[in-house]
Amino acid sequence: MSSKKYADRIIEFISQGGYQPQAAAELALAMDIGEDELGDFHSACKALMKTGRVALGSSHAMMLAEPPAVVVGSFRANPRGFGFIILDTPNAHGDLYISREKTGGALTGDRVRARVSRKGKREGRTLFDGNIVAIVERGQSQFVGELKHQGSSWLVVPDGNVLHIPIIVGDPSAKQAKPGDQVVVEMTEYPTPQRPARGVIVKVLGKRGDPVVDIETAIEQYQLPRDFPPEVLSEARQAIAHYDVDHAYEDREDLRKLTIITIDPPDARDFDDAISLTLNKNGTIELGIHIADVSHFVPLGGALDIEAHKRGNSTYLPNYVIPMLPEILSNGVCSLQQGEVRLTKSAFITYSPRGVVKKARVANTVIRSAKRLTYVQAQQIIDGKPGRTSTKVVALLKDMEKLARTIRSRRLKDGMLVLDLPDSQLIHDDNGCVIDVVPTDSSYTHTIIEMFMVEANEAVARLLHATDVAYLRRVHEEPRDLGEGGLQRLLRVLGHDLPDDADRKDLQALLDKVRGQSESFPVNLAVLRSMQAAEYAPRDSGHYALASKNYSHFTSPIRRYPDLTIHRLLDALLAGKLKTKKGRESTLSFQDLITLGSHCGDRERKSEAAERDVRLVRVLRLIEKDHLGSDFSGVVTGVANIGVFVQLNRFLVDGLILFENMPDDWWHVDAQRGVVIGERSGREIRIGDKLEVRVASVHLSTRRMDLTLSDAPPPSDKKRRRKPQGSEAKKVPNNRKATGKGKRPKAKVTRKKKKRR
């Protein structure tokens, strides 16, 4: 490995959250650098110091350097005008703050160059901000929005929060676009303080509000893939044609006589995991997790593989799926359907009666699922309502529940964190419109499957870790400064506390303390936000939330490309190739895995953002249609200088009570305490408070909902001028009236696909 590649590994390692500066010799030990690699490692350290990317602190400890005078990175704008630059080269001070007047016309996603200046110090730490001096590359040239005709002008109002101003377009007749259509605009002139944005309509998606148009909007806005190329479909058909079910299992462990079941949501279309359980005479228990052997049908470097890599994952939008693999595979020979012979990769984990892992192994296997169950059906059987289910399946389910509870107890003891955040499912009518939002099913069978998948992922990661081969892990870094920042401030507001050196046990105690209380949601949300996002990377950093030292994704190769890479490594492991130097060298390098992990993480974030956006749009449209002027219960989730944020319990979406829509008073904002105080009335509204609120208006283009307090009269036109320390509140009338509710059409349920960690 060249010194340059070691340099990349060093920067990757010391950029991790929780890294403590250490000397080069200690760093080499922490990074598992072998003796034969030390020469190149130290050369890389010297090169990083010479180029200024790494600095030496006390005791020659290596750390990221302070930002240079000029930096380059990706800009992320805030709807309120300011933003941050995520730097290409990490430094000791993280993202660079850009004030509203120094953004230089940059939009979210743009690559920019900025000058860095010092702002002073706070709590002994130097603060920096930046001034964008050049836009190196635009991140987005096409925008999706609603076409409007205002006076003599045609405007497109963009959706989302990348661009907050309308785009002027010419005569839209060339594309037969009409007011109210959802269109795609190619930007021809980006906005500046002196001139507006201008563009050309390149595609008409259809009438805004149509459920199909919602999907088309998400595909365009988040650059999601569409149909598979012909060569990909052709290769998929060939893979099926060459599949000889009668001979495919000759070199595999034959598990067809074993009782194996699948448990999935009722609307699941692909079944990529199945479970078996064997009670041994010595009291041990062997859990079998059987995963669809996608790598058997998707050869490395072929058209299928290239397209799956490009997509990174399947995208699950409400009522619509964009698969990573063609459905003739994902819903066909790779789907573990009831009664069908299927090829699998199986992880076998043997437990003591107390749920302690004794040993684990993997094998190429062949199975036949005895029963396909939904979560609700499985729970009913466990609860004593088996119906006509076979006695073997009933016994298996009861044993599964017992083992899962034992595993969960052990993992909680080890420090696994369980967040209590409510979730919901959308009810669609036959036309795809959302007509209701209901809580998700909370059967314990969800936990059973989640525990087993976590155990399988961990077991496979341990096996690969023992080979000393770099592989794509699912990394969840330890949070930074749990005892400081927004989480600690919120906890003090709510009368709780965390030690300065808080660990997982402290977080567990906190979450247990607030469970079932009114402040449960804001506390759980704040804990989630205090953590770093999980990512795909080859570094050996463990999974913090799961209290796991080694963790990878193995259980969903149908819908996640990283899992497919793990399956291929298992093929090499089972063939004995990872025992030879030549075999190890044929695997992906550390740097290649960093690149792959970054790509897969980016695709995953886009898919999740698209899913959230479509869900939010459909829920807000339902509220706008049926619930304007209606009252709902909610929980205060945040306070800001513009108002109070409240999540509606009924819909699990946030709305904003602007101070100008609050009762006549001067509202003082104390962000440190998470409270707003009416100076005249003395009323206090705190994070975690339960409120009754009324829906005042919905703004679909910006994904915003305005609320008012249900128990307050509309604010008057009278204005009282003074300047409190927090926020100045304008008084404006609110004459919004409730709308009538229409007849509810026939409904069907669309469930959010349960993510298995």
What DSSP string runs through 216-255?
HHHHHHTT---SPPHHHHHHHHHHHHT--TTTTTTTSEE-
Structure tokens given for 355: 């749920």
pLDDT (mean) for 723-747: 37
| Predicted confidence (pLDDT) at residue 464 exceeds the cutoff of 90 | yes
Pairing of strands 167-169, 197-207: parallel
pLDDT at position 171: 81
Q: What percent of the chain has pLDDT over 90?
A: 57
| Predicted confidence (pLDDT) at residue 177 exceeds the cutoff of 60 | yes
SS3 192: coil
> Where is pLDDT greater, at 426 or 484?
426
pLDDT (mean) for 673-682: 87
Domains in the chain (CATH in brackets) are 3-64 (1.10.10.10), 70-137 (2.40.50.140), 142-208 (2.40.50.640), 230-477+536-613 (no CATH), 485-531 (no CATH), 628-740 (2.40.50.140)
pLDDT at position 453: 98
**Spatial CB neighbours of 443, under 8 Å, sequence gap ≥ 6:** 375, 376, 378, 379
Q: What does the mean pLDDT of the chain come to?
A: 87
| pLDDT per position as a tens digit, 622-647 | 999 999 999 999 999 888 888 999 99
| Predicted confidence (pLDDT) at residue 680 exceeds the cutoff of 80 | yes
SS3 373: strand
pLDDT (mean) for 235-250: 85
Contact 595, 649 (CB under 8 A): no
**Spatial CB neighbours of 399, under 8 Å, sequence gap ≥ 6:** 277, 279, 285
pLDDT at position 717: 47
Q: What angle do CA 557, 377, 447 make, to 5 degrees?
A: 55
pLDDT (mean) for 336-361: 96
pLDDT (mean) for 411-428: 94
Q: Where residue 3 falls among pLDDT bands split at 50, 70, 90? A: low
For 234, half-sphere exposure in the C-beta direction (CA atoms, 13 angstrom radius) is 5
Q: Residue 278 to residues 177, 259, 350, 397, 561: CA-CA distances in angstroms?
A: 63, 9, 9, 12, 31
| Longest CA pairwise span in the chain (Å) | 85
Pairing of strands 197-207, 253-254: unpaired
Distance (Å, whole) CA 752 – CA 427: 11
Pairing of strands 654-658, 667-670: unpaired
pLDDT (mean) for 302-327: 96
Q: In what order do the strands lie in the sheet with 357-368?
A: 253-254, 357-368, 341-351, 285-292, 273-279, 261-264, 371-374
Structure tokens given for 158: 């963009």
pLDDT at position 90: 61
pLDDT at position 732: 31
- C-alpha closest to that of 64 among 128, 119, 17: 17
| Predicted confidence (pLDDT) at residue 665 exceeds the cutoff of 60 | yes
What is the DSSP code string of 81-106? S-EEEEESS--TT-SEEE-GGGSTT-
| Predicted confidence (pLDDT) at residue 738 exceeds the cutoff of 50 | no
Q: Where residue 191 falls among pLDDT bands split at 50, 70, 90? A: confident
